[in-house]
Structure 1
Amino acid sequence: MSQHGHGHGHGHGHGHADPQVQAEILDLDAEVVAEHTASIVDWLPVPAARQVVDLGSGTGAGTFALLSRFPEAHVTAVDASVEHLRRLRTRAGELGLADRVHAVVADLDSDWPDLGTPDLMWASASLHHMADPARALRQAHDVLAPGGLLAVVEVSGMPRFLPDHLPESRLEDHRHDERLPHRGADWGAKLIEAGFTVEGERTVTVHLEQSAAVERYAEMVLRHVLDPETLGRVLRRDDLSLRSDRIVWAARK
């Protein structure tokens, strides 16, 4: 585990130290944006993939989207969190995919394990957690098969749930985490510096109306920025939504 409590090399956890809370947020995120994740995977300029590595897999949102998109693929899911990989393996078993998933506990800021020679690597909301993402990108370039593709997905900021006119919505803008100085970096430039050719970039806008899952997601994120009374008042509203932008880069070795 890293000093951030959720391990360098996986993302989405929004800075919470409790791995159970992080895992639940990751699972909720995977549930509510599943269609968006699938659309990102479908967009990748990869006709087929057999050996895939999910760098900072979390509980497996990307892993399972990739397995669905590429029926011949085997995915190596790498994460620093034992708890997240336990959930991922359990889910793989439930879906009958255990023989297509290999889980590896590793800190991607340290020495990388042997990841084979993948033709596709996926890094979703994980690079900004790393102490030295430029080093990680160089390592990814070295590991990829010739002509292989690295897909980088990063969120443009923290998810937003409150209507913009509410005074409390301003608190959603004041959660910059000084432990994550690389959030919002120019990943296209970093990919080029690491030796990649960027073949595509797109922004996927997520805007989901209120639902039980969105309400639960809002509660788990906003409890860390709102006092209990304000949080209770906010969660009784009927105009919550989930708004987030995800930027994707497709980079060729």
Structure 2
Amino acid sequence: MSEHSHHHGHSNNHAHTTDAELAEILDLDALILGSYLEAATDWAAELAPDSSSIIDVGAGSGAGTLALARRFPQASVTALDRSAGMLAKTLDAARDFGVAGRVDTIEVDLNVAWPASASADLMWASSSLHELADPERTMAEMFAALNPGGVLIVIEMDGLPSFLPESMPEGSAVAPGVEGRLHAALAGSGWNQYPEWTSGLERAGFAVERRHFPTLGSSTPELASRYARSFLGRMASALEGTVSPADLASLEVLLGAGPESVERRRDIVVRGHRTAWAARKP
């Protein structure tokens, strides 16, 4: 998930999100919507089965790094991120999962330059490419750093995660369709924007194919509620002046402590959608 705090890969216009807050939402996203990670790493293994060196570009809290380490038990995985705190969390998670011996980190600002030592058979960039100041330059740098025949997997969220049903019971204090309107307002202000990467990847020299990964969240009601509160809470500060007072009031109800709060609802279902590009270096 991206969170526009320029951790290269995990940033969605939440300018005041701390590392701890960001790590929580990334971990919840991976825990609840993580089936796309399994599907996408399986795809990567089909395309580059013999990869012995992997780079996670914009590793965030390390969900992709761990998924890659599990899927490629023979490979070393290097996590790149601008945030030292996120990289420390990635290493902690790698120790917890017993893969620390195969996981390394590089603290780097990719807006400055690609790290000279970072070459690989497989690269993974999940919700990170659109955060860069000059993604086409970085794609060219990744192409140069990939070994011949190597593969770059780029993943983006097609839209923000959703939690609410379209219809509401009669008399509800939450307006029907409010979530779609909130998402539209955020899209209008630039949240989660990215181009169709195919042409840029092709200009960098890659041969490209695409896949779509719809995901229905798998979680307990408590985890779903935590994710909904965390995500909707981050939306709230960005929505002032962009949506109707009625929709802001609905958001306040959801984030409150009353009977229609996210913790007390029984109709929360987490849904997400990802598109992935596989870009092969000849």
Q: TM-score, normalised by structure 2?
A: 0.81
Q: What residue is the counterpart of 1:190 in the other structure?
A: 200
Q: Which residue is equivalent to 1:176?
A: 187
Q: Which amino acid aligns with 2:278?
A: A
What residue identity is the alignment partner of 2:213? V
Q: Per-residue deviation at 1:171?
A: 1.4
Partner of 1:107: 109
The residue that corresponds to 1:142 in the other structure is 144
SS across alignment from 1:176: helix
> Residue 137 of structure 2 aligns to a residue in which SS?
helix
Equivalent pairs, count? 247
CA distance in 2, matches of 1:115, 1:47: 23
Q: 1:41 to 1:12 in 2, by over 3 A?
A: farther
SS at match of 1:119: strand
Deviation at 1:179, TM superposition (A): 6.1
Aligned residue number for residue 222 of structure 1 = 232
Cα offset, 1:175, TM superposition: 1.4
1:103-155 CA-partner distances (Å, limit 9, x unpaired)? 11111111222244300000001111111111111110011011110000111
Whether the 8 Å contact between 1:204 and 1:246 is mirrored in structure 2 is: yes
Aligned residues of 2:121 and 2:151 also touching (Cα < 8 A) = yes
- Determine if contact 1:13/1:25 at 8 Å carries over to the other structure: no
The one of 57, 60, 71 aligned to 1:58? 60
Q: What is the distance in 2 between the residues matched to 1:37 and 1:65?
A: 7
Q: Percent identity?
A: 38
Q: Distance in 2 between matches of 1:5 and 1:150?
A: 23
State the shift of 1:208 in Å: 2.2
2:118 and 2:51 mapped to 1: Cα distance?
Answer: 14
Q: Which runs of 5+ in 2 are unaligned?
A: 168-175, 237-247
Q: Would the aligned equivalents of 1:14 and 1:158 in 2 still touch at CA under 8 Å?
A: no
Match of 2:245 in 1: none
User: Partner of 2:244 in structure 1?
Assistant: none
The answer on whether the counterparts of 1:6 and 1:19 sit within 8 Å (CA) in structure 2 is: no
Q: Tell me what 1:79 maps to.
A: 81
Kept in 1, the 8 Å contact 2:152–2:280? The answer is yes
> Does the 8 Å CA contact 1:23/1:83 hold for their aligned counterparts?
no
Residues 5 and 13 of structure 2 are in contact (CA less than 8 Å); yes or no, is this contact kept in structure 1? no
Q: Is 1:129 aligned to 2:128, yes or no?
A: no
What does the per-residue CA deviation read over 1:73-132, in whole Å, with 9 as the maximum and x for residues that have no partner?
001100011111111111111122111011111111112222443000000011111111
User: Is 1:10 the counterpart of 2:34 in the alignment?
Assistant: no
Q: CA RMSD in A?
A: 2.0
Shift of 1:61: 1.0
Given the superposition, is the C-alpha separation of residues 155 and 23 from structure 1 closer, same or farther in structure 2, using an over 3 Å criterion?
Answer: same
1:231 aligns with 255
Instruction: Give the distance between the partners of 2:253 and 2:221, measured in 1 at CA.
Output: 21
Distance of 1:116 and 1:82 partners within structure 2: 17
Q: Tell me if the contact between 2:5 and 2:11 (Cα under 8 Å) persists in the aligned partners.
A: no
Note if 1:205 corresponds to 2:204.
no
Instruction: Report the TM-score when normalising by structure 1.
Output: 0.90
**Partner letter of residue 207 of structure 1?**
L
The reply on whether 1:242 has 2:270 as its aligned counterpart is: yes
Aligned counterparts of 2:141 and 2:182: Cα–Cα separation in 1: 37
Q: Distance in 2 between matches of 1:62 and 1:177?
A: 29
Deviation at 1:33, TM superposition (A): 2.3
Letter in 1 for 2:279: A
> Secondary structure of the residue that 1:103 maps to in structure 2?
strand
Q: Distance in 1 between matches of 2:198 and 2:272?
A: 20
- For 1:146 and 1:64, locate their aligned partners in 2 and report how far apart those are by CA, in whole Å: 25
Structure 1 residue 40 corresponds to structure 2 residue 63: no
